[in-house]
Amino acid sequence: MYMILLGVVIFLLLYQPKVMFVVLRHITTFKKVYNFYGSLGHDASPDNTFIMTRLQFWRFLKDCRFHYSDLTIMEMDRILGKYL
């Protein structure tokens, strides 16, 4: 257990700046995708802000074909639920 935790800490220390750089580089695209899926099923918002529901998140996972990987959408949802 401690070895896994140590591995995660080392991974974060080594790759966090690189991950942050990639996220910041593509932040506009991420915002557009989030706004698209967050607005599904809703009328226009006066301030153009939306909160993505689980149903919309599942639609995003299906559209990106994540369910063709080794995990099902429900397994991905459970993993996400552990950390939120």
pLDDT at residue number 38: 87
Tell me the whole-structure pTM to 2 decimals. Answer: 0.66
- Return the higher-pLDDT residue of 1 and 84: 84
CA distances, 11 to each of 7, 8, 21 (Å):
6, 5, 15
pLDDT digit string, tens, across residues 5-39:
566 667 767 778 887 888 889 889 988 888 888 88
> What is residue 19's three-state secondary structure?
helix
What confidence tens digit (pLDDT) does each residue in 37-84 have?
A: 888 887 777 777 778 888 888 898 889 888 788 888 888 888 888 877
* Contact status, residue 57 vs residue 37, Cβ threshold 8 Å: yes
Ranges of each domain in the chain: 21-83
CA distances from 28 to 22, 23, 63, 67 (A): 12, 9, 19, 25
CA distance 68 to 49: 31
Model pLDDT, residue 1:
43
